[in-house]
Structure 1
Amino acid sequence: MRTSDPFYASASTDEIAKQMLGMLLTYESPKGKVGGWIVETEAYMGQKDSAAHAFKGRRTASNEPLYGPPGTVYIYSIHGRYLLDVAAQEKDVPQGVLIRAIEPTIGKDIMLTNRAKDGVDLTNGPGKLMEAFGISDKKMNMHIFGDVALDIHQDEKKVPAAIESSNRIGVSNQGDWATKPLRYFVKGNPFVSGIRKRDVDSETRGWRE
Structure 2
Amino acid sequence: MELLPASFFRQPALTLAEDLLGCELIKETEEGTASGYIVETEVYIGAVDKAAHSYNYKRTKRTEVMFGEAGHAYTYVMHTHCLVNVVAGEVGEPEAILIRAVEPVRGIDLMYKRRGDKKEKELTSGPGKLTKALGIVKNDYGHPYGEPPLYIAKGFTPEHISTGPRIGIDNSEEARDFPWRFWVTGNRFVSR
The two structures have a TM-score, normalised by structure 2, of: 0.93
CA shift, 1:72, in A, is 1.1
Letter of the structure 1 residue corresponding to residue 178 of structure 2? K
Deviations 1:93-132 (A, max 9, x none): 1101110000001000001000112311000000000111
2:190 alignment counterpart:
192
Partners of 2:135 and 2:158 lie apart in 1 by: 27
Identity percentage of aligned residues? 39
2:128 paired with 1:130? no
1:175-186 residue pairs with structure 2 within 5 A? 175-186=173-184
**Paired residue secondary structure (1:48):** coil
1:42-57 residue pairs with structure 2 within 5 A? 42-57=42-57
Letter of the structure 2 residue corresponding to residue 184 of structure 1? F
1:160 alignment counterpart:
158
1:81-160 residue pairs with structure 2 within 5 A? 81-116=81-116, 117-136=118-137, 138-153=138-153, 156-160=154-158
Deviations 1:162-181 (A, max 9, x none): 10011001112112111011
Partners of 1:22 and 1:150 lie apart in 2 by: 17
Give the conservation status (yes or no) of the 8 Å contact 1:46–1:54.
yes
1:13 alignment counterpart:
13
Give the conservation status (yes or no) of the 8 Å contact 1:28–1:149.
yes
CA shift, 1:6, in A, is 2.1
Partners of 1:67 and 1:101 lie apart in 2 by: 24
Equivalenced residue count is: 187
Letter of the structure 2 residue corresponding to residue 132 of structure 1? A
**Paired residue secondary structure (1:157):** coil
Letter of the structure 1 residue corresponding to residue 167 of structure 2? I
CA shift, 1:157, in A, is 1.8
Higher relative contact order (CA 8 A, sep 6+): 2
Letter of the structure 1 residue corresponding to residue 164 of structure 2? S
Q: Which runs of 5+ in 1 are unaligned?
A: 195-209
Structure 1 runs of 4+ aligned residues shifted over 6 Å read none
1:29-68 residue pairs with structure 2 within 5 A? 29-68=29-68
Give the conservation status (yes or no) of the 8 Å contact 1:68–1:142.
no
**Paired residue secondary structure (2:40):** strand
Give the conservation status (yes or no) of the 8 Å contact 1:140–1:148.
no
CA shift, 1:140, in A, is 2.1
The two structures have a TM-score, normalised by structure 1, of: 0.86
Give the conservation status (yes or no) of the 8 Å contact 2:37–2:103.
yes
Calculate the aligned-residue CA RMSD, in Å.
1.3
Give the conservation status (yes or no) of the 8 Å contact 1:171–1:178.
yes
**Paired residue secondary structure (1:132):** helix
CA shift, 1:134, in A, is 2.4
**Paired residue secondary structure (2:105):** strand
